Amino acid sequence: MKKHEKVAFIQEELEKLYPKPPIPLDHTDPYTLLIAVLLSAQCTDARVNTVTPSLFELANTPEKMTKVTVESIQAIIRPCGLSPAKSKNIHRLSEILMEQHQGTVPNSFEALEALPGVGHKTASVVMAQAFNVPAFPVDTHIHRLMFRWGLTNGKSVEQTERDAKRLFPKEKWNDLHLQIIFYAREFSPARGLKWETDHLLRLCGRPSEQRKWSAAIPRKK
Contacting residues for 139 by C-beta, under 8 A, at least 6 apart: 121, 181
* Catalytic residue chosen out of the listed positions 139, 163, 175, 198: 139
The single residue of 3, 45, 86, 121 carrying the catalytic annotation is 121
* Three-class secondary structure assignment of 155-185: CCHHHHHHHHHHHCCHHHHHHHHHHHHHHHH
Residue 45 is a catalytic residue? no
Alpha carbon distance 194, 149 (integer Å): 15
| Residue 139 is a catalytic residue | yes
Provide the annotated active-site residues: 121, 139
